[in-house]
Amino acid sequence: MQTKYDIIAVGGGFAGTAAAIASARMGKSVLLIEKYNCLGGAASFDLVNPFMKYWIYDKDGQRVYLSRGIFEQILDRLDELGAIDEKRVCFNEEYLKIVLNRMCIEAGVDLLFQSYVVGAEAADRQVSSVSVSNVSGITKYYADYFIDATGDANLCHICGFPYRLGREPDNATQPMTLSFRMSNVNRDLFEKTKDQINPLYKQYQSQGKIKNPREDVLIFYTMNRDTLHFNTTRIIKLDPTDARQLTRAEIEAREQVVEMVDFLKNNFEAFADAILCSTGMQIGVRESRMIIGEKTLTETDLLNCVRSPEGIAACSYKIDIHSPDGSGTKIIKFAPDEYYTIPYGCLVPKNSKNLICAGRCISATHEAQSSLRIMPTCCSMGEAAGVAAAVALDKKSQFCTLDPGLVRDVLKQNGMVVD
Ligand SMILES: Cc1cc2nc3c(=O)[nH]c(=O)nc-3n(C[C@H](O)[C@H](O)[C@H](O)COP(=O)(O)OP(=O)(O)OC[C@H]3O[C@@H](n4cnc5c(N)ncnc54)[C@H](O)[C@@H]3O)c2cc1C
């Protein structure tokens, strides 16, 4: 059994999967370790859908895509399977799982599912191995370079790298949300009556009949006409990095699901025959640990649409902060043709020799993270981290001293927007 690799990526969400594929395509031996049974991360386990905005508009009003490379290839593969809508935002996550498996296997990535990284050997900001718990027992895997794409910066935390949590000054994070779906909805009736939902919801809330603190009911369409997706439960003031508080969040959110289903079924004919068909297999965490990086992306960088000379991914999604206090969502949109780029240094824990980060746990402030956390951008960051690991290996360089220009050159060849 192979236990030594060039590169080990931990976490098979969009970031980790893209990272593993990118490194493997550059000829490296790569192990991708995922705690559940498939890839996709929040899309697969939290039911997150659709893809938020990953484009700008040119002067003719045409879309110019910012997340390209591996993300675009995933969309094309979904399209071939009829598993994405014509706007390329709403997708079928069951097909996403098979697409990501196939792309990893074709690239030569070794996959290790149902495997949880529970420990690591690290000294002097250098990681030498990770310990993985699974049905085989506990096994050590070694690599020259490691990628933390766990969403929660779990590997960085285990290795003792410092992190930030939530907003200044109280460390409160964005709310957690257990997504759910209702099927057998009378869609025609829903279209006619959907504007009545929020006024009644607010009335119920003011009468204390709805406990959910969210200001409105957030509903998305799915690939199935009679199935609606709800991103509307809201769990506040619980720390997603504390297992007991996370458990409370799961329990409270499930009560909110039932509260919402009852509210809709009891008040709207469109939902009379609808059923609660699924909930995410875990509560969705928008924000948890973020590394302290060589660079940190801030709200000011975003508002100024800064395009860093060491940019490795581009993003145009709005600042979107679901209130950590209860009701309300702070939204600041960019002009239609504006975007910012994420500097390489935001992926690198300060002074890290061989551990890099990708996805929603990179180095950013609470405000900046609320924008870059979307799935397309996480995928782009993952591709960048995978390329960086392969380049670092070739150059025998540490991540903290690696020339970002070398990473950017490969990303440009891959068709990515980095400037
Ligand atoms: C409720 C909610 C709604 C959202 N809505 C949208 C939306 O509409 N559109 C959009 O584009 N984005 C949305 N987002 C944001 C987006 O889904 C996430 O930020 C993004 O998917 C994060 O990707 P990631 O790869 O960084 O992490 P994740 O997708 O979280 O992947 C991390 C992976 O690491 C694995 N893992 C963790 N720890 C370990 C370990 N120790 N060992 C092994 N494996 C481990 C996990 O199982 C997981 O598969 C939403 C997020 C939430 C929570």
- Ligand 1 mean position, distance from CA 285 (Å): 7
Is the CB of 90 within 6 Å of ligand 1?
A: no
- Ligand 1 mean position, distance from CA 151 (Å): 6
pLDDT of 279: 98
| Residue listed under structure tokens 């110019």 | 64
Q: What's the average pLDDT block by block, 10 residues per block, for the chain (419 residues)?
A: 97 98 98 98 97 97 97 98 97 98 98 98 98 98 98 98 96 97 98 98 97 97 96 98 98 98 98 98 98 98 98 98 95 97 98 98 98 98 98 98 98 98
Which residue out of 17, 35, 116, 329 has the highest number of ligand 1 atoms within 8 Å of its CB and is therefore the one to mutate?
Answer: 35
Is the CB of 132 within 6 Å of ligand 1?
A: no
Residues 233/236/242/243 CA torsion (nearest 10 deg): -30
Is the CB of 39 within 6 Å of ligand 1?
A: no
For ligand 1, atom 10, the nearest C-alpha belongs to 374
Length of the chain equals 419
Element (H, E) at 291: strand 289-291
For residue 354, give the 3-state DSSP assignment: coil
- Ligand 1 mean position, distance from CA 13 (Å): 6
In ligand 1, the atom with minimum distance to the C-alpha of 115 is 43
Is the CB of 113 within 6 Å of ligand 1?
A: no
For residue 10, give the 3-state DSSP assignment: strand
For ligand 1, atom 37, the nearest C-alpha belongs to 150
For ligand 1, atom 49, the nearest C-alpha belongs to 41
- Ligand 1 mean position, distance from CA 41 (Å): 5
pLDDT of 237: 97
CA distance 402 to 344: 10
For ligand 1, atom 20, the nearest C-alpha belongs to 375
pLDDT of 122: 98
CA distance 356 to 338: 28
| Residue listed under structure tokens 């509210």 | 263
pLDDT of 140: 98
In ligand 1, the atom with minimum distance to the C-alpha of 285 is 53
Query: Which domains does the chain carry?
Result: 4-167+288-413 (3.50.50.60), 176-285 (3.30.70)
- Ligand 1 mean position, distance from CA 17 (Å): 12
In ligand 1, the atom with minimum distance to the C-alpha of 49 is 8
Beta bridge partners of 120: 130
pLDDT of 10: 99
- Output the CA torsion sign for 152, 377, 23, 108: positive
The DSSP annotation for 144-190 comes to: EEEEE-SSS-HHHHHTT--EEESSTTT-PPPPEE--EEEES--HHHH
- Ligand 1 mean position, distance from CA 200 (Å): 32
pTM (predicted TM-score) = 0.98
- Ligand 1 mean position, distance from CA 10 (Å): 13
Beta bridge partners of 180: 230, 279
CA distance 288 to 166: 7
**What are the angstrom distances between the C-alpha of 347 and each of 66, 319, 321, 412?**
19, 20, 22, 18
Is the CB of 174 within 6 Å of ligand 1?
A: no
Structural tokens at position 240: 């997603």
CA distance 325 to 165: 15
Is the CB of 234 within 6 Å of ligand 1?
A: no
pLDDT of 389: 99
Give phi and psi for 190, each to the nearest 5: -60, -45
- Ligand 1 mean position, distance from CA 379 (Å): 11
CA distance 120 to 124: 13
